[in-house]
Amino acid sequence: MCKYANVRQVQNCESKSDFIHKFKISAKEAEETEYGILLCKHSNNYPSDESLFTKLKEIRKIINKIIYTSKQTSYPFSTLIHRNIIKNI
């Protein structure tokens, strides 16, 4: 849940580096979530749903692509915010 809150916070970031930083935090939260899903998968006491793992992998790809693209682009910061990069998240 926290990774989604971080992604929403990006809409109010103050600079390009802040934009990237907030998405890096989201990437870390997604990594922690993946670990939790894997623990459930290998536990007899907790339910496991493979579709959650698949969806999380897609979310991680999107977050990592945003980070990579943001680092590579020379767009002004305002362009990054107002493009469709974060509107659909």
Task: Give tens-digit pLDDT for 14-71.
Answer: 788 888 888 899 899 899 999 988 888 888 887 778 888 899 999 899 999 989 988 8
Residues 6+ apart with CB under 8 A from 22: 6, 7, 9, 10, 13
To the question of pTM greater than 0.85 for the whole model, the response is no
Neighbours of 3 (CB within 10 A): 21
Intra-chain end-to-end CA distance of the chain, in Å = 13
83 falls in which pLDDT band (50, 70, 90)?
low
- Rounded to whole angstroms, how far apart are CA atoms 79 and 64? 19
